[in-house]
Amino acid sequence: MKKLFPLFSILIIAATLLAACGGGAAPAAAEKPEKMTVWIQWGDNPAQLQELFNKFGEANGIKVEVTAPLEADKIQTALNSSNPPDVLILSGGDDVKSYASKGFISPLNDVIKSANIDLTDFYAAPLQACVQNGDYLCLPWGNDIYALFWNKDMFKAAGLDPEKPPQTLDELVAMSKALTKIDAEGNITQAGFIPDFSWGHIDLYGQRFNGFWYNQDGTELTVNSDAMVNAFKWEQQFYCDGITPEQMLNLVATGGDYMAAEQLFYAGKTAFQVDGEWQVGPNFIPAIVPGLNYGITAFPVDSNNADKAGSGMVQGTVALVPAKAANKEWSGKLLAWMMSPEIVAEEFSYNANLPTSKKAAEDPRFAEMKGFDNFINIMANPATTFVITSPIQTELITEMTLVEEKVLRECADPKPLLDEVQVKFAPLLAESLKK
């Protein structure tokens, strides 16, 4: 028996080597999992999402479990654990680069190749948001874009052509003044445009002046650039030129909740509003104020940056595969299924959000929503950009919102305030990028 031991050992080693060589020549298909997990950060309607993913499960004989919505802290913990979800869908791309730098997610290049995901079917701007140094860290799955809504009846009453919305930022200022009404007691009863209502749009205004608060790859802070200072000064006119912030705030205080008929734009107290594509979906304007006579156009541009006409800034949901996902091949298959035009059309026509697939955008369900095509056209515009993010995004946005409040409500000079932010946050950004 002792003599046979070396022979057995050689045979076992040889068999192992042969098996390994065989695997290298043609990789064996990963075993089909019994269950897959999908985590969705935003899921307002978990039952609908579960129903959607059941279709993948039924087609492949796999149980797909959807968990939605999720707190961000759970996501971070799961990504670092040994049992993360097979596919993770985040509300936005803010944290993607940070996760990648920590090794929580791996590039999708191989997955895209093996699952035959057609990248040419994606709109350029949202896809670019997922790219870092040529690697695809995520894939966009549904997006948001802001455009300018205007009230045609208020235009008519002010003697303006209801079919001609402003094309430049100066025109918007002029029209806003023409649409503002002040009663004998000095109360504003109707405003033209309120730049920080109903969302903050400093990013969009900065882009209109050809700038942003980061450089192109988000590695340098540029909050006190001329573009950003000019954007704040432009906003300031709506609060401090010819009226006082107090007058404007007294009007704002009369507004109701975002989804209530008393909301300023819905109630006809302001003629313009910058808002997203969901407003034309079944849960917003058609449900809350069906009689509203309005139009939608891309946000006006600075006359010195006319090349941005018709464009916007895109941001939205992204899907990714955690680095420690148990079965990357099947994660890729699930991702490819999610990105197919039929599924994108089904999910985002239901939620009235922009489809990231060009083929999906042709689905008749989107055309049924009046005005939705405006948003698709803005997303397709070559000048449309994505919102650049960094690991300090949340705190920086809070700080910028505070600067905006001071600029608008105290008519403060934006330059020194933005200089302060630059001094405070530039080292924080550098430090966060080192981690």
Partner 1 sequence: METSAAVPKPVKGTRKKMTRMEKHNLRVGMLFISPWLIGFLIFNLYPMIASLIYSFTDFQGILVSQQVWYANYAAMLRDDRFWFAVKNTLFMVIIAVPLNLLFSLICAILLNLKVKGQSFYRVIFFLPSIVPAIAATMLWIWILKPDNGLLSTVLGWFGVQSPNWFLDPLWSKPALILMGIWGIGGTIIIYLSGLQDVSQTLLESAELDGANWWNRLRNITIPMVSPITLFNLITGVIFMFQYFSQAYVFARFASVGKADLIVGRPMDSTLFYSVFLYDKFTGFRYGYASAMAWVLFIVILLCTIALLKASDRFTYYAG
In the set 405, 413, 426, 433, which binds partner 1 (CB under 8 A)?
Answer: 405
Cα–Cα distance measured from residue 396 to residue 151, given in angstroms and rounded to the nearest whole number: 33
Q: How far is the CB of 284 from partner 1 (least distance, A)?
A: 11
Residue ranges of alpha helices (H) inside 165-315 are 169-179, 202-208, 226-240, 245-252, 285-288
Q: List Cβ neighbours of 237 (8 Å cut-off, separation of 6 or more).
A: 173
Binding part of the chain for partner 1, among 16-24, 145-153, 192-200, 382-390 by CB under 8 A, reads: 192-200
Cα–Cα distance measured from residue 389 to residue 126, given in angstroms and rounded to the nearest whole number: 13
Q: How far is the CB of 428 from partner 1 (least distance, A)?
A: 9
**Of the candidates 287, 288, 251, 246, the residue with the CA atom closest to the CA atom of residue 271:** 251
324 contacts partner 1 (rule: CB under 8 A): no
Closer CB to partner 1, residue 31 or residue 73? 73
Positions in 260-279 near partner 1 (CB under 8 A): 263-264
419 contacts partner 1 (rule: CB under 8 A): no
Closer CB to partner 1, residue 224 or residue 305? 224
Distances (CA, A) of 144 to 128, 333, 349, 389: 15, 25, 13, 15
In the set 83, 189, 250, 283, which binds partner 1 (CB under 8 A)?
Answer: 250
Closer CB to partner 1, residue 31 or residue 257? 257
Q: How far is the CB of 73 from partner 1 (least distance, A)?
A: 5
73 contacts partner 1 (rule: CB under 8 A): yes
Binding part of the chain for partner 1, among 14-22, 167-175, 367-375, 391-399 by CB under 8 A, reads: 391-399
Closer CB to partner 1, residue 142 or residue 310? 142
Residue ranges of alpha helices (H) inside 145-225 are 152-157, 169-179, 202-208
Closer CB to partner 1, residue 279 or residue 317? 279
Helix (H, G, I), strand (E, B) or coil at 141: strand
Q: How far is CA 60 from the centre of its chain?
A: 31
Q: How far is the CB of 397 from partner 1 (least distance, A)?
A: 9
221 contacts partner 1 (rule: CB under 8 A): no
Cα–Cα distance measured from residue 369 to residue 283, given in angstroms and rounded to the nearest whole number: 11
249 contacts partner 1 (rule: CB under 8 A): yes
Amino acid at the residue 54: N
255 contacts partner 1 (rule: CB under 8 A): yes
Q: List Cβ neighbours of 295 (8 Å cut-off, separation of 6 or more).
A: 149, 150, 152, 162, 163, 165, 371
83 contacts partner 1 (rule: CB under 8 A): no
Report whether 322 contacts 85 (CB < 8 A): yes
Report whether 64 contacts 293 (CB < 8 A): no
In the set 20, 25, 257, 364, which binds partner 1 (CB under 8 A)?
Answer: 257
Cα–Cα distance measured from residue 175 to residue 231, given in angstroms and rounded to the nearest whole number: 18
Binding part of the chain for partner 1, among 19-27, 84-92, 190-198, 324-332 by CB under 8 A, reads: 190-198
In the set 39, 123, 197, 209, which binds partner 1 (CB under 8 A)?
Answer: 197
Cα–Cα distance measured from residue 349 to residue 343, given in angstroms and rounded to the nearest whole number: 10
Q: How far is CA 152 from the centre of its chain?
A: 28
In the set 217, 226, 246, 419, which binds partner 1 (CB under 8 A)?
Answer: 246
Site string for partner 1, 27-66 (x = CB under 8 A): ----------------------------------------
Closer CB to partner 1, residue 236 or residue 305? 236
Token pair belonging to 389: 């993010």
Query: Where do contacts with partner 1 occur on this chain (CB under 8 A)?
Result: 72-73, 76-77, 79-80, 102, 196-200, 246, 249-250, 252-258, 263-264, 394-395, 398, 401-402, 405-406, 409, 424, 435
